[in-house]
Structure 1
């Protein structure tokens, strides 16, 4: 009697079939394991090169942001020279405080002249420094950053890392010489960079992989400027493989340190080297390799059966999502959400929620970066970007510079809280009246700037006059207080950004000189505007 149809026979056939099915799977896993082992180094190095390149670009972007922060003061110095006068100190401290608030890497911005006088963005910190360190005995002209800026006129000087005397945090100073062109005086504008904060930003970027390290090395001094471990800032850099850091970019594996290394120079800063390091971790893979292979063999059959069941669903889902992502790349946010509503997949609502959340976060971040926290208007950073775009496209536009009359007297008489309230209320009124017809910015202190892109000079002036007249009739809580503002206005007519600003600023000065509470156009006069010295 044949036993081929007995339960034992069927079971034996199934066991043999599963073994035959498992053998090619086992062979494939062994082959994959060996190939992965052989190509492990290439894979890690390629990953490190990619990560290090991205971090190097980020470092370069940070350096450009820091340079732009000083560039704002250098540009402004051509209009309102930096000096030790109370007016100059207040003007530049207002600008510098905004810059420090907007960039967490900036500790303080300061100015020192050729006579040894100095002041910074933080008047309270200046006072503490004077008390704790006897600032009268400290001559800024002897500091490394001052001498360095003197040695490279027209360029930015980056100091070696050092411990700040007041905060005791590691810092570097970026500085640039300002020549006042009077034949005798000059000064240096500088900014202290918070290296621990910079390092903590790096550490946060690498927090998902604790085997990764990243640092910024100054090749000239061979010292670490920034490190994902802040405790290593300022230390000498001397690993066994340092002699392999040749050229501007590269990658290698160090058997002595058992780690992979990728490096590249920072854009526009060839003396700085961005280095990313990862410890070799395939020893753990070798230790657990046998267990992984055993588990793979035992679960192989179930995997094959599950793959057959879910293959069609997965392929359909992937194809649908891939097509959706391709379409979303060219759609606005409203179109994206509408498109996702039409997709009949259980996973689509999750994708819709994620896109909406990310979009809102990006929008909120953009608003925080480009808005003045006191008035809610666009800030000076946003103004600079707007003017740069207008001049890059050679656009013709109308600009008005607004200055609240007697603002210092308001602060002195009623206090800074009242001054802030005046700024907010005048700004809100301007937003309501100008609406979409103009973009309104806070330039600094009590000065605002309005940009009219699609309006004639005559109509823009009438609009500004309406704002001025309503502002002058506002009722205030403070008894007897009346608020007005003066403004200069003009059309660009092909002028450079700097020349146009000087022209409109001159018209503002005429308005102030003529009695305040008025709008003066650059076209009202043929002769040059008088200066404050006149």
Structure 2
């Protein structure tokens, strides 16, 4: 069947619009998925590194606690005084908050004192090379996980007791019960989220030491690329299929003190879900525009075809010898201009919607501040323009207590209160971002880190002097750093500022630490 020119024009125009819209939607969808993937991998990697540092800090503090006890025992006690040794062992369990049980042995490895719960071991010899290693090396030791005499899967942390002559007289050691609530659960258990993100810890052999599913503790994980990288001592991020055949976006880091690995991961499906929702929203909002365009094209096709129909009629009349001397086919060029203008208007509306979606994807919906994606884009622009800037990263002190005491809704109001204060103080001098959770970032172009620190301190004093939405003042800790003085890459700059922030946290909170006064780890 022969098609009319009106049908051909309508079909070609509709096909062109559909293909253009489809390719634009697909390109935007792919770009958004890649951005979400990159951000998730980067976040998980930074998070795993942060947790590795915190966990190593806990272990080092535990070693120092045991070392102090060993020093006291070497001067003040006989190994025959079981009652005193038992009290000292129980004190270590209560005060360290990280040890499940403590034993004190003499130089032969015979247990002379214990904390509560393992009193039956008094008089028994320590078993296993890992438990008596300190007696041979004379150094603090942290064992790999093993099954103890009580049948528990444990990690044993020990330090020698030296006599006045510097000889090994005994040992004080503490156990972390991996299959029961312990320091890893207290430290990492709070990092499990409803979006499917979770953290797990493996030893240098690939055995699970901590997992959100306690039944998996003690399990050896095979055919996992992340764990193979951790065994080699590497850290970073990657997409992988885990042992349960689930696609994950994982960041991983090694604890240098022990060789253990920490993995922070999130299911790829949940991490990329926002891209699917955005695509669906764009399609739904584009359909009415497509329908309107189709009606307009049908109208314009009729107008385009009408002069040709008249020309055909004139040709037939001339064939019959009855045609006029002059041919008037209508206002052809005006019709073509109207069609072009209508199509341009349609695509302009589409581009405006795309710009709107991009703006929404760069803004934090709770506080109205720019989000991490926008932060990355601005800092890239400043770096390309070789414009120096300082960065402030701040974190609300004890924000978890606010959520636990007043509820998450009140916590959200506190976040919005802080965002408003940041915006008021910053004005046009810089830009404020919500970096994630209770962490915020302020970028100040052309400012030194010392100026940024003074700026942050003024903001800190102002906020701490005013009651927040929960009826009490809040405080924050902050770290500042400057590019290019302290780093030539943005990611390294954020790490330096973050180290300053955590130094402020570790040293009393409610303070600002500048990279100029605190030399971070290189």
Q: Tell me the residue number matched to 2:170.
A: none
1:397, distance to aligned residue in structure 2 (A): 0.7
How many residues in Structure 1 have an aligned counterpart in Structure 2? 345
Q: Tell me the residue number matched to 2:49.
A: 78
1:459, distance to aligned residue in structure 2 (A): 4.3
Q: Tell me the residue number matched to 2:421.
A: 429
> Against the structure 1 CA distance between its residues 381 and 460, is the aligned structure 2 distance closer, same or farther, given a 3 Å change threshold?
same
Q: Tell me the residue number matched to 1:486.
A: 477
1:193 aligns with 2:268: yes
CA distance in 2, matches of 1:199, 1:477: 36
Match of 2:401 among 375, 394, 409: 409
SS in 2 for 1:309: coil
CA distance in 1, matches of 2:371, 2:403: 22
1:464, distance to aligned residue in structure 2 (A): 2.7
> Against the structure 1 CA distance between its residues 303 and 524, is the aligned structure 2 distance closer, same or farther, given a 3 Å change threshold?
farther
Deviation larger for 149-158 or 417-426: 149-158
Match of 1:311 among 332, 354, 362: 332
CA distance in 1, matches of 2:412, 2:4: 71
> Against the structure 1 CA distance between its residues 159 and 357, is the aligned structure 2 distance closer, same or farther, given a 3 Å change threshold?
closer
CA distance in 2, matches of 1:444, 1:189: 16
SS in 1 for 2:367: coil
Gaps of 5+ in 2: 6-14, 56-183, 231-235, 285-304, 315-326
> Against the structure 1 CA distance between its residues 88 and 459, is the aligned structure 2 distance closer, same or farther, given a 3 Å change threshold?
same
CA distances 1:364-395 after superposition (whole Å, capped 9, x unpaired): 42333122233222222332333344444443
Q: Tell me the residue number matched to 2:215.
A: 136
> Against the structure 1 CA distance between its residues 492 and 30, is the aligned structure 2 distance closer, same or farther, given a 3 Å change threshold?
closer
1:451, distance to aligned residue in structure 2 (A): 0.6
CA distance in 2, matches of 1:307, 1:183: 91
Q: Tell me the residue number matched to 1:469.
A: 461
> Against the structure 1 CA distance between its residues 399 and 203, is the aligned structure 2 distance closer, same or farther, given a 3 Å change threshold?
closer
Q: Tell me the residue number matched to 2:434.
A: 442
1:138, distance to aligned residue in structure 2 (A): 8.1
> Against the structure 1 CA distance between its residues 392 and 415, is the aligned structure 2 distance closer, same or farther, given a 3 Å change threshold?
same
Q: Is the 8 A contact 1:439 1:452 kept in 2?
A: yes
> Against the structure 1 CA distance between its residues 176 and 88, is the aligned structure 2 distance closer, same or farther, given a 3 Å change threshold?
closer
CA distances 1:179-208 after superposition (whole Å, capped 9, x unpaired): 44446322444432339979999999999x
CA distances 1:304-359 after superposition (whole Å, capped 9, x unpaired): 6799224232244357x39x96xxxxxxxxxxxxxxxxxxxxxxxxx3x9746752
SS in 1 for 2:412: helix
CA distance in 1, matches of 2:188, 2:52: 7
CA distances 1:255-291 after superposition (whole Å, capped 9, x unpaired): xxxxxxxxxxxxxxxxxxxxxxxxxxxxxxxxxxxxx
CA distance in 2, matches of 1:303, 1:201: 49
Q: Is the 8 A contact 2:402 2:411 kept in 1?
A: yes
Q: Tell me the residue number matched to 2:201.
A: 113
Q: Is the 8 A contact 1:175 1:190 kept in 2?
A: yes
1:118, distance to aligned residue in structure 2 (A): 5.4
Match of 1:500 among 467, 488, 493: 493
> Against the structure 1 CA distance between its residues 118 and 87, is the aligned structure 2 distance closer, same or farther, given a 3 Å change threshold?
closer
**Aligned positions of 1:238-253 closer than 5 A:** none
1:436, distance to aligned residue in structure 2 (A): 1.9
Q: Is the 8 A contact 1:148 1:157 kept in 2?
A: no
TM-score (norm 2): 0.51
SS in 2 for 1:78: helix
Q: Is the 8 A contact 1:397 1:453 kept in 2?
A: yes
CA distance in 2, matches of 1:504, 1:161: 36
**Aligned positions of 1:105-504 closer than 5 A:** 108-114=196-202, 115-117=207-209, 136=215, 141-142=220-221, 147-150=224-227, 156-159=238-241, 172-175=247-250, 178-182=253-257, 184-194=259-269, 308-317=329-338, 321=341, 351=345, 355=348, 358-359=351-352, 361-476=353-468, 481-494=472-485, 495-496=487-488, 497-504=490-497
Q: Is the 8 A contact 1:79 1:502 kept in 2?
A: no
Q: Is the 8 A contact 1:402 1:487 kept in 2?
A: yes
SS in 1 for 2:434: strand
CA distance in 2, matches of 1:149, 1:109: 16
Q: Is the 8 A contact 1:510 1:530 kept in 2?
A: no
Q: Is the 8 A contact 2:44 2:250 kept in 1?
A: no
SS in 2 for 1:81: helix
> Against the structure 1 CA distance between its residues 118 and 88, is the aligned structure 2 distance closer, same or farther, given a 3 Å change threshold?
closer
Q: Tell me the residue number matched to 1:277.
A: none
> Against the structure 1 CA distance between its residues 314 and 117, is the aligned structure 2 distance closer, same or farther, given a 3 Å change threshold?
farther
1:474, distance to aligned residue in structure 2 (A): 1.2
CA distance in 2, matches of 1:362, 1:203: 13
Q: Is the 8 A contact 1:476 1:482 kept in 2?
A: yes
> Against the structure 1 CA distance between its residues 179 and 459, is the aligned structure 2 distance closer, same or farther, given a 3 Å change threshold?
closer
> Against the structure 1 CA distance between its residues 173 and 300, is the aligned structure 2 distance closer, same or farther, given a 3 Å change threshold?
same
TM-score (norm 1): 0.50
